[in-house]
Each structure stands twice: as C-alpha cells, then as structure tokens.
Chain A
Amino acid sequence: MTKQKAKAYWKENIRYLIILLAIWFLVSYGAGILFKDELNQIRLGGFKLGFWFAQQGSMYVFVILIFVYVRLMNKLDKKYGYDE
C-alpha cells in the first residue's frame, strides 16, 4: 500500500516537472534564442521582444516557476501525507 502511494506520488511529481520544464525551455531557448528573430519584430516599449525575453523575461519566468513548483509540491505532499 505505501509502495503504491509512493508510486502515485512520484508519478504526479514527474508530471509537474515535465510541465514546468517545458515552460522553462520555451521562455529561454524558445523565445530568447530559437524564435528571437521572429519575436524581435514585436516591440515592448523600447525593447525588441526576443531581446527582452533573453535579457529580462526569461529570468522573471524562472523565479515564478520555482515558486509555482513550491506551491504545487507543498499541496502534493499534503495530499499524500508526506508533509511535515
């Protein structure tokens, strides 16, 4: 039983990781590098959007991602009784 519980917990954890890391990849490697030229056609005030993602936006998203992760995991720990 505990083994099944641990398995289910781990599965949900992995799902969160995949979603969060997909966003991590999109804002930095996607918006800041691979699609920067396309995004640079769009302006955000004085910034070209691709440049902004590379030097500002990606970093803000990184911080948000970690705090979202902290919240999700705290909830998950509670759900499975692993919190302390």
Chain B
Amino acid sequence: MMNSFLFAEGIGVQNWTYILVGITFALYIGIAIWSRAGSTKEFYVAGGGVSPLANGMATAADWMSAASFISMAGIISFAGYDGSVYLMGWTGGYVLLALLLAPYLRKFGKFTVPDFIGDRYYSKTARFVGVICALLVSFTYVAGQMRGVGLVFSRFLEVDINTGVIIGMIIVLFYAVLGGMKGITYTQVAQYCVLIFAFMVPAIFISIQMTGNPIPQLGFGSTIADGSGTYLLDKLDGLSTDLGFAEYTEGSKSLVDVFAITLALMVGTAGLPHVIVRFFTVKRVKDARKSAGLALLLIVILYTAAPAVSVFARTNMIETVSNKPYNKMPEWFKKWETTGLISFTDKNNDGLVQYVANETKNELVVDRDIMVLANPEIAQLPNWVIALVAAGALAAALSTAAGLLLVISASVSHDLIKKMINPKISEKGELVAARLSAVVAVCVAGYFGINPPGFVAATVALAFGLAAASFFPAIILGIFYKKMNKEGAIAGMVVGILSMLFYMTKFKFGWFGGGTKTNWWFGISPEGFGTVAMMLNFIVSIVVMKFTKAPPKDVQDIVENIRIPSGAGEAVNH
C-alpha cells in the first residue's frame, strides 16, 4: 500500500527529526530577522496592518498550544464523550470572541487588555487588577508550553528534558525579543502551516488504514476496513465495556458538570489576553470580525480531526496490548516505557498485559500525553511522519509560548512602567523595557519548564477559570452596559478572582479544609467553577454599580463610540 520511499528505512526517526526540526527552526529564525520590530507599535501590535488571513493563521497557531496538539486527543481518547467539553469549550469561545469582544476592542484601538480595563473604567486600580490577572493567566500557561517543548526534545532527539527546554527558550527568545508582535505574527503563520500539516498527515494515514476513508472526520464514523461491516465507534464501545470502562460515546461525568466546564472553557477562551490582543493587529473593525472567523475555521480543522485520532488511537492501543504477552510488545511500547510514560506491573504473573478499568486488576498505566506522539508508531507509519509530529508539536508549543510572552512583556512595559510608574518614558526607552521584560519572562518560563511546580496541570484549568472570572465580565459589561462604573467592575473582578482561587485551592490543594468530589458545590468540579465565578462577577458588578456613582460623561461617550465600527484608525500609543 505505501511504497518503500515513504518508509525510507535508510534514514532513522531520529535523523528525520533533526532534519525537519532543523528546517522549521531555521525558517522561524529567518522570519524573525526579516520582520524585526522598530517601534513600540510594531512590538505590541505588529504595526496594526496585518491582513485578516495572516491574523487568522497567527491566531490559530497562537491558540493551539502543546495542550491542543499533544494532550487533547489523548485526553479524549481516555475520556470518550466527556472529552467533548474541550472540543466545544475551546472552539465555542471564538463565537463569543467574534460577536461580543473582538470588533469593539479593535475599535477601541489600544495595545493590551489591561489598557481597555484601565481606560474604560477610568481607574489605575482597575488597570492594576487587569495587569495582575494577565500576568497570572499567562505565566501559568507558558510554563506548560515549555514543558511540552522539553518532552518532545527528550523523546525524539534523546536529549535530556532540561536541555530541550533551554533550546526552546533560546529560539523563542530570539524571535520574540527581536521581532515583538510583528516577528511573532509571521512566525506564527509559518508555525500554523507546520502544525496543521503535522497533525493531519498521520490522521489521514491512520484513517485510511482503519476505515479506508481518507477524511478522518468522516472516518471515525465509518465501518472498519476488515469487511465485517461493523462501525468503528460500535466496536470501540464494545471493547470499552468488555474491559469495564464506560461506553466510549456515553461518558461518565454528570450533566451539570459537563455543562459548567464547557461554559467555563468557552468564556475563558474569549477572555484570554494573548488571544484578544491578536485582534488589535488588524486594520479595520470588519477585519477583526473576519479574522476571528478565519481563525476558528483553521482551528476547527484540527479540532474536528482530534476526536477521530482519539478513537483510532484508543482502538489501536487496546487491540495491540490487551491480553497480549508482555515480552511480545512492539518497539514503541519499550521506548515509551523508558521515559516512564508507560508503566507495566504484572500483578497476576501471567506474562500478559491486563488493561482494565478495575484498578486493583489493571496492570498498565499509559500517560495520556503520549497518545498523539506515539500514534504514528503504533500505526506503524513511516519514519518521516513520526518526525513530522515532533516538528508539529514544537511549532504548537513555541507559537503559543511566544504569544504569551508578548502579553507578559507588554503588561510590564506598557501597563506597569509606562502607564503607572513612569509615564514620561521615551518611545525608545519603552521598547528597551519591553524587550527586557520579554527576556525576564522567558527565563522565568524556562525555570518553570525545568522545575515544573506540581500544580501545573491544575493551574491550566485555573488560567481559564481566572480569565472567565475576571476579564470576560469586565469587558462585556464595559461594552454592552454603558452605565457600568469602576466601582462595580473592580468589585466584580476581585470577587470573581478570589472566589475562583478559593474554590480551586480548596479542592485541588486541600486549603481551607479541603474537600472531595462529594463536597463540590452544586456538583461542579474546580474546572467548571469558572462559570460560577463569572456569574458572581456579573452579579456583584451590577449590584455595586446600582449603589455608586455613574461613570463620567466622557467615558459614556467612549462606549457609544466603540459601538460604531467606522473610524477605527490605528492603535495609538497615547
């Protein structure tokens, strides 16, 4: 079926990885040199003249992180229907972004999200709360990206995880510090192409292998290619229940929790500063709307293929390992075993791998993160495809890391230094400050990548929860509720953030007396609590507003002005 060229046995996986990763890295550096930033405007918003398509591609790469590329399909393949929360949550947020936020924020025409909060609520306190939220959200997120870079390097190039993190740091440092938003935008365009190609090629190969259908989105709803006429999903439901797991297409989370998590992820997505800021880079309000649509289209290509990959990988894995002799396991099994991401203990000493839901009998533990990375090997795809996945995962992690670092550096140099500490700083001085804060941010991110705090996984959910609980209501009310004043917005953000932090630390780290699943409020998990915290923010904002002074006339005029799309002009460093 596949010819010998595709297998290219002569060149091993590792050499292929060096070649592909080398080419893509050279490309990113070349783009960075070509698109250096010369002014703060170029550094913060790429000069404000990015085309909708380029911005759509950059937004897609910015958004799709190591979590989307590496972890998501793996999580879904273990969670089945329950994994839908990520699919709907991380795409549905773009509808909110396109309809409720992006056009108005573009019309407002500033550089950062705290900029909007500070100006709309005519208050340094509000701006400061915004800066704190932006930094909290971005740092928790970026640590996870650096970890992803290290993971890919260690597995595919067999260097130590820490060396991998440092190589990743140097690359990001190079193009984020040199190019600012301008450099990042055009590298992200290239990274989108690399990552989507790298995700889709193996997905298509495996879909053909398993179902004969070259389109993975249709393939996982087709019959399996053995001529039996059984649908793949029915087969997987059967395999799952045989091993004692929940039926793949049914899931086991409660309805209210699925609802809450999906909403928290959607609203959190719409409130993430590194995504919002991308819409400051286009020329007109109508470009902001259009590029949100293009971004989602480009994202959905991967997001609709991911659940197909999950089904393929899950079926393949169960069939390869379940009740098979341990000493006959294929090579990938042993390789991943050495990284500690697969572990096997022969509890009943029969030499067979028992993979079942019952924890006392189960002998195999597979880390969810390896499903996408190991998938091409499990399906015995050619070496270059396996190497391509490594290059794609790196593109996903680096592009997101760069976008986050820019938010961090802009929050420090623009919002903190220029707007609060030293308003007299020169354009040149601000640019130096922006570059320096990017360097510091990369180093801090690298440190967390090398010494990941135990709570990284928990804090990614926290990042969404915080964005949902703080920025989303403040921005929405700022646009759609002219009478919203600073007292209401600040009180709302503070209550939103604090309640989110309280719930998260109580149930994730055991603070404030801790608690288990049975103690959850309304049966909502910490991941879904962003929804409740967001509602609290809305309620507190409106109640406080009712008892305090209305915003000044000029602020109300600003609100009326941002509702009209024409005359957006360019983002200005006022």
- Chain A residues with a Cβ under 8 A of chain B: 6, 9-10, 13, 17, 20-21, 24, 28-29, 32-34, 36, 40, 44-48, 51-52, 54-56, 58-60, 62-63, 65-67, 69-70, 73-74, 77, 81-84
Contact = CB atoms under 8 A, between A and B. Distances in A.
Given A24-B95, A44-B221, A69-B289, 8 more contacts: A20-B95, A33-B262, A46-B232, A63-B293, A66-B98, A66-B289, A66-B292, A84-B284
B289 A70 contact: yes
Interface residues of B, number: 49
A54 B297 CA distance: 17
Contacts of A73: 103, 286, 289, 565
A48 to B, nearest CB: 5
A46 B223 contact: yes
Contacts of A59: 87-88, 91, 300, 303-304
Nearest to A67: B293
Contact of B300 (A6, A44, A63): A63
Contacts of B220: 46
A33 B249 contact: no
Interface of B: 76, 81, 83-84, 87-88, 91-92, 94-95, 98-100, 103, 217-218, 220-223, 231-234, 249-250, 255, 258-259, 262-263, 284, 286, 289-290, 292-293, 296-297, 300, 303-304, 307, 560, 563-567
A6 B84 CA distance: 40
A65 B95 contact: yes
Which 7 pairs of residues, A with B, have the shortest CB-CB distance? Answer: A46-B231, A54-B84, A66-B293, A46-B221, A55-B307, A82-B566, A47-B221
**A interface secondary structure, majority:** helix
B566 A48 contact: no
19 contacts: A29-B262, A32-B84, A33-B262, A34-B255, A45-B218, A46-B220, A46-B232, A46-B233, A54-B81, A55-B84, A55-B87, A58-B87, A62-B92, A62-B94, A63-B300, A66-B95, A69-B289, A70-B290, A73-B565
A70 B95 contact: no
Given A40-B249, A54-B81, A77 B87 contact: no
Contacts of A67: 293
Nearest to A66: B293
Given A33-B258, A33-B262, A66 B307 contact: no
Contact of B87 (A6, A54, A63, A74): A54
Contact of B564 (A20, A32, A55, A82): A82
Contacts of B293: 63, 66-67, 69-70
Nearest to B290: A70
A48 B249 contact: yes
Contacts of A46: 220-223, 231-234
Given A28-B262, A74-B286, A62 B564 contact: no
A26 B426 CA distance: 51
Contacts of A44: 221
B66 to A, nearest CB: 21
Contacts of B286: 70, 73-74, 77, 83-84
A52 B92 CA distance: 15
A29 to B, nearest CB: 6
A67 to B, nearest CB: 5
Contacts of B565: 73, 77, 82-84
Contacts of B232: 46
A74 B284 CA distance: 12
B297 A77 contact: no
Given A6-B560, A17-B100, A46-B234, A24 B92 contact: yes
Contacts of A48: 233, 249
Contacts of B292: 66
A51 B304 contact: no
A74 to B, nearest CB: 6
B507 to A, nearest CB: 22
Contacts of B217: 56
A65 B250 CA distance: 27
Given A33-B258, A62-B94, A6 B564 contact: yes
Contacts of B297: 63
Given A45-B231, A60-B300, A69-B98, A54 B289 contact: no
B296 A62 contact: yes
Nearest to A68: B293
A50 B292 CA distance: 27
Most chain A CB inside 10 Å of its own CB: which residue of B103, B223, B249, B250: B249
A73 B103 CA distance: 11
Contacts of B259: 29, 33-34
B234 A21 contact: no
B529 to A, nearest CB: 17
Nearest to B224: A46
B104 to A, nearest CB: 10
